[in-house]
Structure 1
């Protein structure tokens, strides 16, 4: 474990970093090296994020499903944080950020607040799943969830699994299942072979990952796993031994087309249709955003250093637009370098020199990551094909029919949609449904820009009133003096 610190009731610091994945951890390390007082906060129990998630206590790396390179990279990052003496708050939930960047956190020890001069948001992404009939059934899970089961918990999603969606996680999850001794019924890819081939020049920017992808393809072929390009899941229905998953051909937009429908009998389905940048904090602080489907959807407007329209607020990593884990590290360091320069901790010469190096380090992996993000961009035909009775917001059981009805009744933006249907009001605060709900509303109002996105609200995460209030007695409650008559 990295350094844990005792939280004071309120502490002023130079920099607070939210998220201890590759971007956040590298930002904290660079800021520490530049002489800033810095604190790194994450909900997880240690650094690494999704890509370098550490094993739970008591687990060993004996599982052949664990990537040796990922494990070593994660261990090296956590060791570097310890050696640098970075103050790390793990298992801490950020539930509110004020306009002055005051950040309120909840931990097992209670609540506390931090007042940083600069705030770097490096909270990564959430997974998009385009809803279909049966997507909320037990045994149907996201590709990211399947990755956690395989890499961190040493568990299979099921004995026989259908892997569906788009992007590189398809191959990663399918190969992980095979390595762990499971059976992959098929890989269902919305993209075509030609779409993958068109990314080849960009994939050459990361020959190591290109080679890994080719190995994954070969492993699937040797295992006899069918890979169906330009196909998508139509529905999943419960059967006696698990599920019957219906798969059909789609066009370039993801819309179903006439063709042979195939049914796969499986006991689990893993599905994911790309990654969406996490913007809950930046939306809460009313930073400017723009819609960029090729980078994941709504992203925070920022310069190359991560500075946003809100003074003191910076973004880094995939939360600023999907570019991949390898590009996230240098981007986090760029944001920390900007903080250090803006706070007068480093000279113009040092800033200029180190900035050029980091931009160069980020360029190649970002090219690869951007190509993958393009493959995972939301497909309008797949959105239009969602059936009317399909649940879109699973927290509040809001269906497509209810979203369409609200739009026909006059809901013109996402906040009106939320008020009229409760879509996005559940525990996830719209992280699961907002991208798809926005795409559905855009069909009626003309564009995603017109539909907009949910306004950020506190609490950012579910918290109890007892946790927020803390320990007090009635004597602690200030009673104002009576007003004069």
Structure 2
């Protein structure tokens, strides 16, 4: 199956939806591809239709914004301006002269290939969780913070009855409050950052008073549900035999060392842990887009340095839904102008640009505040599994970087197989980098996900 579209948008989260709406409203035909069975992305993840949720808005923040996005896309779909392809997992994008071939696997089995051809491409592929290992993190009952949230939003189920939410970053707040409101006993929120770090960044954080008010609201919800907040603490170990039974947390000194005598054991059957987010850049890397750190570099119009390719949302840097909406809107308007052969008018997206700049200032400061605690790698024992796909331990990584002399992630991978499994290093690469002392560099791959040989064999020779 091959379709022709003026614009292909990969990702139906806030950035992708905003970009698709801005382009469709101005006469551009859009094909929107997304791996989920419903639009919304992680921020607006919807319960499965079969569950018949009566009040899905109870699980979400800024529900009216979602309603405007949802209803706008529905109108454009009905008018034939947007084609929404759900359950489509994009594994590669090819650039051929002035057009693009977007290759995707569709359906639950992901054995059927689809190619969408377009004149322009908007990458709104979002981000994924940054998780750092610790002894016991592979026990059943240990989940990522975003995974716990996805279970609640998408499946209307709790990951457990007694939950500890731990790590660092603003995502911990909605996860803890959401689980508590849904009936879980959240015994503690363990945050490695302390108030002093927030105060040092107060002027930059003040760029968005709305976000500060949102944070205060979450703090009130935590108090309402009786959730203990343990600041400047980190998880040292998860305990259990067949599944999680408890976690040990310790207080952090300023240099990242654990304060002597501060270890404390918290009984729980679930640990939801996360250390922020990282941008999804696989497709951008395949196309040759320049990265700025771990994110895709984009100009003021959200254009990458590859002609015809725009990027918006978390793929250009982690910054939340409001920033993603602003970037998506700017990208959509820029794409319209470029496809119509006219000069873009920055005044037409001035409000979105102001919102983008404000959000970027805020999240740049927030990212600096919520960095993983110093010295985390030193606390990982040699026996701790780091790469779960290939069962590579921290000791093997240290041996590769030490006696064997590996100086980059690729060499560590070749010596240990860390990152050669199903996830291709998405989960373990930050930990391997921290343990080995190697820089966290992107691994450019021809495919963004595993592809059946039958699909590859069925592609045209060109």
TM-score normalised to structure 1 length: 0.86
The residue correspondences of 1:250-261 to structure 2 (distance < 5 A) are: 250-252=252-254, 254-261=256-263
Alignment partner of 1:76 out of 64, 68, 72: 68
Change (3 A) 1:234 1:398: same
- Match of 1:281? 283
- Rounded to whole Å, the distance in 2 between the matches of 1:113 and 1:211 is 45
- Rounded to whole Å, the distance in 1 between the matches of 2:5 and 2:249 is 53
- Match of 1:107? 106
Preserved CA contact (<8 Å) 1:142 1:270: yes
- Rounded to whole Å, the distance in 2 between the matches of 1:306 and 1:299 is 13
TM-score normalised to structure 2 length: 0.90
Task: String of CA shifts for 1:354-410, please: whole Å, max 9, x gaps.
Answer: 132321232333333333333333444223432222222111112222222222313
Preserved CA contact (<8 Å) 1:63 1:154: no
Change (3 A) 1:224 1:154: same
Verify: 1:402 aligned to 2:391, yes or no.
no
Q: Partner of 1:66: helix, strand, or coil?
A: helix
Change (3 A) 1:98 1:411: farther
- Match of 2:174? 172
- Rounded to whole Å, the distance in 2 between the matches of 1:107 and 1:224 is 44
Preserved CA contact (<8 Å) 1:65 1:176: no
Alignment partner of 1:413 out of 404, 408, 413: 408
Change (3 A) 1:379 1:319: farther
- Match of 2:23? 31
- Match of 1:481? none
- Match of 1:268? 270
Verify: 1:462 aligned to 2:435, yes or no.
no
Verify: 1:434 aligned to 2:433, yes or no.
no
Preserved CA contact (<8 Å) 1:21 1:52: yes
The residue correspondences of 1:231-250 to structure 2 (distance < 5 A) are: 231-238=233-240, 242-250=244-252
Query: How far did residue 179 of structure 1 move?
Result: 0.9
Task: String of CA shifts for 1:386-439, please: whole Å, max 9, x gaps.
Answer: 222222211111222222222231322222222222222211122111222223
Q: Partner of 1:152: helix, strand, or coil?
A: helix
Task: String of CA shifts for 1:141-188, please: whole Å, max 9, x gaps.
Answer: 011011112223222221111110111222212211221122112111
Equivalent pairs, count: 450
Preserved CA contact (<8 Å) 1:306 1:314: yes
The residue correspondences of 1:39-78 to structure 2 (distance < 5 A) are: 39-62=31-54, 66-67=58-59, 69-78=61-70
- Match of 1:183? 185
Q: Answer with 319-328 or 189-198: which moved more.
A: 189-198
Change (3 A) 1:228 1:288: same
Task: String of CA shifts for 1:270-306, please: whole Å, max 9, x gaps.
Answer: 1000000111112222322232xxxxxx112221222
- Match of 1:327? 323
Query: How far did residue 22 of structure 1 move?
Result: 0.5
- Rounded to whole Å, the distance in 1 between the matches of 2:207 and 2:21 is 26
Alignment partner of 1:344 out of 340, 356, 368: 340
Preserved CA contact (<8 Å) 1:255 1:384: no
Query: How far did residue 203 of structure 1 move?
Result: 4.3
Which consecutive residues of structure 2, in runs of 5 or more, have no partner in the other structure?
Answer: none
**RMSD of aligned C-alpha atoms?**
2.5
Change (3 A) 1:63 1:197: farther
Which consecutive residues of structure 1, in runs of 5 or more, have no partner in the other structure?
Answer: 1-7, 292-297, 472-476, 479-485
- Match of 1:474? none
- Rounded to whole Å, the distance in 1 between the matches of 2:451 and 2:424 is 12
The residue correspondences of 1:114-193 to structure 2 (distance < 5 A) are: 114-193=116-195
Verify: 1:317 aligned to 2:313, yes or no.
yes
Change (3 A) 1:39 1:63: closer
- Match of 1:19? 11
